[in-house]
Amino acid sequence: MSDQPPQVRPHLAQLPGYAPVVPLAERARQAGLQPEDCLKLDANENPYGMHPRVREALAQALSDPGFGSIYPDPNQAELRQALSRYTGLDPSRILAGAGADELLDLSFRAILPPGGTVVTCTPSFGMYPFLADINELNLIDIPRDTRFALRPDKLLEAVEQAGRDNIVVLTSPNNPSGDLVRRDLLRRILDLGATVILDEAYVEFAGMDASAQNLLAEFPRLIVMRTFSKWAGIAGLRLGYALANPDLVTDLIKIKQPYNVNQAAEIAAIAAIDSAAEIGTQIDAIRETRDQLFNALLELEGLTPLPSQANFILIRVDPNVGTGRELHDRLASVGVFTRTYSGPLLTNYLRISVPRADQIDTLKMRLLEAV
């Protein structure tokens, strides 16, 4: 008998782990404030929360005595049908998951063998290197330039050299820089025969014209990732989806966890799709508030906002004001919770999610106080 617990495999044990957002209640407690007096602008959620129609659909489902006691549909038939209405694509091209995160993980594991390669362009979403690490994949990083623009020549060169077992992950709009991937660059990468995951988690805030989903028919190696966490206000229920080639979707369905989408998430997502026009009003408001926030930031000495197509803004913080982390901490002490970064590339930056329209004046005041 051993008195030791089983050991995690060495390559996993040594990983630092993902740095997730700290819960609001915890951050408020640290600041000595009540959660309702704080602005949670650190995770790009929908500041208006779940739409009342979605809440109603869930309440109605809860009143059914059978709710939650039977397994959800592993084939996600009704949900995929609803997603088909939302995207205009055939359900055979759609697969849902417990957040885009799950589908990113599934895609990496399903397509790449250990030792395969993920090509990314930092700074971007921290989940990509995390998933590459846990799946024993190599990471090739083609960093963005000093203004956070992609470097097409270097990226194309890397794709050409990366060989067969690789996936290029691009994010449009990018988190945290807020810019879109140009269509011609995407085409050139796909023309090289690369497998591309295009993460469109924030595309609703750019407008659906910005989506590259119409390239799916032409390029069987394109996978478009989306989520209901941002536009639809149900981050806590976990619902994402992938748009891809039907053969790939068939294979992914075979190997996913059979009951990966829980019943509440399914009901909420279908209700959100049925209320997409109403939620669109929230999206319009967020876009308008984004412009107001951008202009307010421009007026603050020492802060330079980057134009954004998403529901957040990356801000360059002048050294006179402090580092991104220092400003983050000062804002946190007055109840404004933002996102800061540990890597050297973003030492002087801070990301802030767009608040509700009625919160913008409070935010402006607290920014003024903290700068």
Q: Where does this chain bind ligand PLP (CB under 6 A)?
A: 44, 99-101, 125, 171, 175, 199, 201, 227, 229, 235, 240
Write down the least CB distance from residue 171 to ligand PLP, Å. Answer: 5
Q: Name the residue nearer to ligand PLP (CB basis): 100 or 222.
A: 100
Which amino acid is present at 160?
E
Nearer of residues 270 and 370 to ligand PLP, judged by Cβ: 270
Q: Is residue 73 within 8 Å of 96, Cβ to Cβ?
A: no
Strands ordered across the beta sheet of 303-305:
303-305, 312-317, 349-353
Quote the least distance from Cβ 349 to ligand PLP, whole Å. Answer: 15
Q: Which is nearer to ligand PLP, 99 or 322 (CB)?
A: 99
Least separation in angstroms between residue 32's CB and ligand PLP is 28
Whole-angstrom CA distances from 52 to 44, 263, 274 are 20, 18, 12
CB of 265 to ligand PLP, least distance (A): 10
- Residue 337 bridge partners (DSSP): 40
- Looking at the Cβ atoms of 175 and 289, the one nearer to ligand PLP is 175
Instruction: Write down the least CB distance from residue 239 to ligand PLP, Å.
Output: 7
Residue 240 C-beta: closest distance to ligand PLP, Å: 4
* Chain centre to alpha carbon of residue 349: 19
The nearest distance, CB 180 to ligand PLP, in angstroms, is 13
Compute the least distance from the CB of residue 283 to ligand PLP, in Å: 16
Q: How far is the CB of 46 from ligand PLP (least distance, A)?
A: 12
Nearer to ligand PLP, 100 or 248 (CB): 100
Can you tell me whether residue 41 is helix, strand or coil?
coil
- The two tokens of residue 32 are 């000595």
Q: Which is nearer to ligand PLP, 234 or 327 (CB)?
A: 234
User: What pairs with residue 139 in β-bridges?
Assistant: 118
* Cβ-proximal residue to ligand PLP, closest one: 99
Q: Would you call 324 exposed, middle or buried from its count of C-beta atoms within 10 A (0-12, 13-18, 19+)?
A: buried
| Least distance (Å) between residue 172 CB and ligand PLP | 9
Nearer to ligand PLP, 99 or 335 (CB): 99
The rounded distance, in Å, linking the Cα atoms of 123 and 333 is 27
Residue 321 or 338: which CB sits closer to ligand PLP? 338
The Cα 204–Cα 286 span in angstroms is 11
CA-based nearest residue to 269, from 61, 38, 112, 125? 61
- Residue 12 sits at the vertex; the CA angle it makes with 10 and 14, to the nearest 5 degrees, is 70
Q: How far apart are CA 119 and CA 368, in angstroms?
A: 40
Do the beta carbons of residue 178 and residue 152 sit within 8 Å?
no
Tell me the C-alpha distance between 316 and 165, whole Å. 37
* Cβ closest to ligand PLP, residue 117 vs residue 227: 227
Dist. CA 248–CA 221, nearest whole Å: 9
Helices (H), the chain: 10-13, 24-31, 52-62, 77-87, 99-111, 127-134, 152-161, 183-191, 203-206, 246-255, 263-274, 276-299, 324-333, 360-370
